[in-house]
Amino acid sequence: NLYSSLDQRAKALEKAYRELEDNDRIKDQLLQNLSHELSTPLTHVLGYMSLLIDGHFGELNAEQLKTSELVIQKSQRIADLVKDIIAAHSTSSGTLDFATARLEQVATLAARSLSGKAESANIRILLRAQPNLPSVTIDRVKITEVFEALIDNAIKFSEGGSSIEITIVDTNSPMVQVSVRDEGIGIPPEEHERIFRRFYQVDGSTTRQFGGTGLGLAIAASVIKGHGGKIWVESEVGQGACFFFTIPKATSLAPVDRHKALA
């Protein structure tokens, strides 16, 4: 009868749902294992290779130094890939945990985390924050990842001796605006929207020359959208690039929205 049929379908749906939950748990566990099994030894490799290059185990000849620097470069690339994959999974399956914060403090910590990479590439990171900025309502961890993605992207496409400038300003709106400007190779106007798609690269040679998964900007776009802000880029080929995003001020988000699922 109809009741029996509906009951069977309900049980079938419950079973399918439990299987999906199990699959998600398995996927989460696999990604956690991936992060641990790769990140831990990579951290040791990068640490020991840095000591080797600094001469702690004796002076290296030119060929040994070149090989050691190449090992660090490739190890860092793998570490960045693992970080992007984990961040992409977290963004697609997680939620935003909003709290009041000072955006200039978040930017400072993100810039500091990449200062070593910038120094190695002979690139300066400058932070200019308007005085008396209002507080913002953000997921501090996720917005830190946005800053790191934009700064890392700027380092990747900039030449030694150049600067990256992070600017934070209040606006005549419920938003605070952030910009991350570099002096790198620039982006063609027709690519300005596409670069925020997952796994998108401007062209194949970009991936080969500069590395990357094509996930960083997509993750940043998803996080900013989840905050009710906007993200965009202004750039011309050979003229560097400036990435902008906006974040609501602390009074702009209703309390009912303080925990929100990411799209």
How far lies 130's CA from each of 102, 169, 174, 176, 181, in Å?
12, 5, 16, 10, 16
* pTM attached to this predicted model: 0.70
Q: Check residues 60 and 12 and name the one with the higher pLDDT.
A: 60
Count of domains observed in the chain: 2
CB within 8 Å of 178: residues ≥ 6 apart? 103, 107, 147, 166, 167, 168, 244, 245, 246, 247
Range of the domain at 85: 2-93
**Same domain (yes/no): 115, 241:** yes
Q: Are 80 and 133 contained in the same domain?
A: no
Indicate if 158 and 84 belong to the same structural domain. Answer: no
Q: Taking residues 58-69, report their average pLDDT.
A: 88
SS3 category, 164: strand
Dihedral angle computed from the Cα positions of residues 157, 162, 168 and 172, in that order, rounded to the nearest 10 degrees: -90
Please state, rounded to an integer, the average pLDDT across all residues of the chain: 81
What is the mean pLDDT of the segment spanning 88-108?
Answer: 81
Q: State pLDDT tens for residues 30-61.
A: 666 766 677 777 778 888 888 888 888 888 89
